Each structure stands twice: as C-alpha cells, then as structure tokens.
Structure 1
Amino acid sequence: MDAPSTAAARSARPWLFALLLVVCTSILGGCAAFAPPRPFTTEAEALAARGEPTRRWQNEDGTTTLEYATQPYGHTCLMVQVDAGGIVLRQWDALDGDNLARVTKGMTRDEVSRLLGQHRSEQFFKLSGEEVWDWNIRNEYGASIATLFNVHFIDGKVVRTSQTYVYPPDGAMWGPWGHPYPFGYPYPLHPRFHGYGYWPYWW
C-alpha cells in the first residue's frame, strides 16, 4: 500500500470508531428502554416512581392492586399488589403472554378488566352480536406492524379471544401526524377484517 493510501486509512479510523460507538450506545439504550421495571418494595416507592395509578383494585384478601396502564400507545400494564401496610407483595405485567392466556370463556367484563388492565378501545358488531375489547400488545415485528389482543363478549361474558396483526397499507413505517405505526394509524378493530391476519385462542 502506498503512503497516501496508508494515511487515508489511518485518518478514517477515528471516524469508524466513532460510528461503532454510536451504534453500540443506541443498542444499549434500546435495551435499557425495554428493560422491565425494577421491583418496588413499598407502595410509596411505586408512587414516587410511577405516580398515581390508572386504577386501584380492592381485593377480597384485603390487599390492593395498583394498575399502571399504558394504552392506547404502550404495550405493557404494570400491576403492583400491596398489603394494608403498603408493602409490595408482588408485581407483574398484565399484558405478558402468560397473563393473556388466563382469559377464559365465561369471564365478565369486570374480571377481564381487572386481569388485563384498561383496554385500548371497544367496538360492537351487530351481525355477530359481539362486543370486542382490544389491547395493544408487544410483538416481534417492529413498529410498522401492530398486534392487538382482542376479547369478544356476548351479553357481557367472554366467548373467545383472538389476535389481529395490522399492516400499514402503503408499507411505510410512519403513519399520519408523524406517529410511528401502530400509534398513528387508524387500524380496524374486527379480527376478521379482510386482508388482516387472524389467530384465535381455542378453549
């Protein structure tokens, strides 16, 4: 290699190092953003970190569950159960896969709401007689594809659940008003909407 080429290669190294540093920082920052919240030990600690909960649920055993919903834009719902003295007994994400699977046929609206937290939206379909609640949940396909978990009620009781995968029609990542999908895209709510993926849970 001649002298000019060697000098050019050496001058490019700092820029390459800086680029790698930026990429690594972005990756680590992304991991931190999606890291689960640290466990709280007291109700006061949870309130200081998260503020007032979306709702408070009084349980039959005398404990209280603090609900921190993030719908319609988020895909988690932190639940923090505390005893009468304000000591945290446990905390969990109400929208993780294991908890979603606990929705069973015959449950009431109130039971589902207590289990999964505040839902994103609801819609009634005259032909099927179903009232459908949905939650935006985590998916593995990136911000350009939305995943909705749907709970179908008839006469106030769960009859089935399903998931809807919503794809932007133009293939773009950014929706109206500058928001990334699914947050800015007015996607349909019915799980059998033509052209969209559909996967039911079976009991």
Structure 2
Amino acid sequence: MRSAMDKKWRTVPGLLALLGLVGLLSACDPQNISELEEGVSTEADVRERFGAPEAVWDGEDGAQIYEYNRQPAGHTNYMITIGPDGKMAALRQVLNPRTFAQVQAGMPMETVRRMLGKPMKITTYPLKRETHYDWRYFESPGVGESKVFTVVFDSDLRVISTMSTRDPDLDRGR
C-alpha cells in the first residue's frame, strides 16, 4: 500500500510537466499571434495555432468568442472572436488596466468571467461572505512588475469591489 507521501511525489513530476507546458504555450503565443490576421485567418487557423479553447462564449450577431487562458502561471488571457463567416474578427489580450476598468460594482460573476477569462485563483471567505477571483498580469504588456487583479464578489456573486496589488509570489522568490 502506498502512503499519501508517495502519492504526492508521483504527482509532482506531472505538475512540473504541466507548468513547463504552460510556459511553452505562453512562449509560443507571440509567434502564433503574428501568423494570424483579423478578417483573413479562419477558425481552423486559430485552432491550429492555439488548440482547443478553454471556453467558447456567444458573441454579438452570431460570433463566437474563444477563450485561451494562460493562468495560473502566465500573465495573459486571450479572447479571439470568430465571426459568423468563420473568420477571425478580433484577438485581444484581456488582462490589462483598460479591461479591468470596465468591471463595475453590481456586475454578475458570469459577466466578469466572460470579460477576463478563467481566473488564476478563487478564494472563498465564508465569514465575510465574499469570494475573491484573482488574475495575474503585467501592468504594461509583457514587461514591468507582475501584479494581481482581484475582483471581490458578495454571496450572490455580484461585484463589490476590485483592486490591484503587487504579485505576492514575487516575495516568495517566484
């Protein structure tokens, strides 16, 4: 019979491999993006370069929005819009101060999730009746200090407040 410690160590190589894969995917993003052109590239082109999306959201006028998440290790989340004609209409990196400014008190969690993609971490504080969603990002694209944007939700999963802080993992030598 294997101990709990044995099980833990069997999963560490898998976790390291997954983190390495996320790093490789993030490193490939600039190359993949440079090979795509709005209004020209097709859904097949997007899937060939980025793979299957994390989520697919309904957009306006029959468009679909593909979410490509680079959390928890990365600093980006991409939303790629595929128009009803099957062509890429937009490619946006949504983890940035401009998008964060659109998050308003009272917004439902689902709306925030569609705007920002899957968070890096979700923490529930039962005594405070709050849930915090965190996303890691760079203040300036690809450079600068790593930060964390937090959206605080009430027990009905409606936005109470938002904040940005220095990435606490930087203090742990990450």
1:68-101 Cα offsets, whole Å, 9 max, x none, are: 0011001111111011221111111111221121
Alpha-carbon offset, residue 128 of structure 1: 2.7
Structure 2 counterpart of 1:164, one-letter code: T
Structure 2 counterpart of 1:160, one-letter code: S
On the 8 A contact 2:150/2:163 being kept in 1, the answer is: yes
Higher Cα Rg, which structure: 1
Task: Trace 1:15-164 onto structure 2 (pairs within 5 A).
Answer: 35=30, 37-38=33-34, 39-40=36-37, 41-139=41-139, 140-141=144-145, 146-154=146-154, 155-164=156-165
Which structure 2 residue ranges, 5 or more long, are not aligned? 1-26
Distance 2:29 2:60 in 1: 33
TM normalised by structure 2 equals 0.71
Tell me which residue corresponds to 1:195.
Answer: none
Q: Which has the higher helix share?
A: 2
Structure 2 counterpart of 1:110, one-letter code: E
SS at match of 1:138: strand
With over 3 angstroms needed to count, the CA separation of the structure-2 counterparts of 1:33 and 1:46, relative to structure 1, is closer
Alpha-carbon offset, residue 156 of structure 1: 1.1
Alpha-carbon offset, residue 35 of structure 1: 4.7
TM normalised by structure 1 equals 0.61
Structure 1 counterpart of 2:61, one-letter code: D
Q: How many residues align?
A: 136
Alpha-carbon offset, residue 45 of structure 1: 0.9
On the 8 A contact 2:76/2:137 being kept in 1, the answer is: yes
1:172-201 Cα offsets, whole Å, 9 max, x none, are: x4xxxxxxx1xxxxxxxxxxxxxxxxxxxx
SS at match of 1:73: coil
Which structure 1 residue ranges, 5 or more long, are not aligned? 1-31, 174-180, 182-203
Alpha-carbon offset, residue 34 of structure 1: 8.2
Aligned-pair Cα RMSD in Å: 2.1
Structure 1 counterpart of 2:109, one-letter code: R
With over 3 angstroms needed to count, the CA separation of the structure-2 counterparts of 1:33 and 1:68, relative to structure 1, is closer
Structure 2 counterpart of 1:130, one-letter code: E
Larger relative contact order (C-alpha < 8 A, sep ≥ 6)?
A: 2
Distance 2:90 2:96 in 1: 15
